[in-house]
Amino acid sequence: MAAGNDGAKTPEDDDPFGYLYADGQAAGAQPPQGGGYGYPGPAPQPGVPRTSYNQVRTVGERQYGGHAAQGHAQVPHQQAYAQPHPQYAAPETYNGGAPTRPVPPAQAGPRGGGPNTKGLLIGAVAVVAVVVIGIAAAVITNSGDENDTAGSGGNPSGAPTQVSESPSTDPSQSSQAPQELPKQDAATLKLGGAAALAKDIKGAEGADGAYVTGFNAVGSSVTWQADVAQAGSYRLYVRYAIPAADANATLTVNDKANSNPIGLKNFIGSSDPNLEKNWQTTWAPVTLKQGMNTIKLSCEQGNQCNAIFDWLEIRTGS
């Protein structure tokens, strides 16, 4: 590739500082015409390569406020810089002053320029209040759980509570000890008519196995003085034995006979007339007054009285 036409000058002439070095001088570098680098050279000509850089001025030639510094002449500092050239004037010297850009307003801090202690104090108080409320709620909840546990008989938390249902009682009985209802061996009762004591038939639960016999004659009777703590409706239970055949008797309470006789039936359905194998119980409703009551079993006309008696007992019931 052919070299380009660089004109009459050689490339080393393009280095404005080549003449300063020994190798540049040996290569034929010449100081620029017109004063060297930093000084104005000849005006560029068309087709002629440049030999120095233009757009420069000799030191002291630049104008400052209409005054020129020639060569190395010293210009008074006040005069040389009294009125700067408009090209190098500060922006605030232009008409209308220097252009400005919006500056964000400074945020006003608390008085004294310190940290926002008021906000921090409010936050701390809020945190303490929340903690106190949480502790109070936990204490109230635990107290409620303990009360519930105590009220349910000490059941552990989460266990189903057992509710016992008991019949309502009269307020007058709540302050009294449980009522002991009377029971009496027939052998210790008051006997009337042909009624008498015997011990030859086994199975009687009275003292020494004694029981009442001879009741099958009209006019025979057994009488009991029963003491109860409270008036009300009760049941009279009688233990007896029959020869596998139904029997009955007249029941009188406080000198008032019941309209229906007390049944001494063959409830066990026995077919063996042996009295020892036919012991059983029956009951009849009675209304008793508070205190002593007279209860009488008797064999009257129309009764079937072929029975023997072991004991009589009062129980609750309607």
pLDDT at res. 156:
39
**Predicted local confidence at residue 115, as pLDDT:** 60
Residue 274 Ramachandran class (φ > 0 left, ψ -120 to 50 alpha, else beta): beta
Among 117, 127, 294, which residue's Cα sits nearest to residue 221?
A: 294
Q: Residue 46: its pLDDT value, please?
A: 66
**pLDDT of the residue at 152:** 43
Note the pLDDT of residue 213: 96
Q: Is 47 left (phi over 0), alpha (psi -120 to 50) or beta?
A: left
Read off the tokens for 318.
Answer: 């309607």
d(CA 42, CA 45): 9
Helices (H), the chain: 22-26, 77-80, 117-151, 171-174
pLDDT, mean over the chain:
74
Residue-level pLDDT at 141: 73
Interior CA angle at 308 toward 307 and 310, to 5°?
Answer: 140
Residue 313 and residue 318: Cα distance in Å, rounded?
15
Q: What was the pLDDT predicted at 262?
A: 96
pLDDT at 89: 56
Those residues of the chain that have pLDDT short of 70 are 1-16, 18-19, 29, 31-116, 142-179, 318
Residue 144 pLDDT: 58
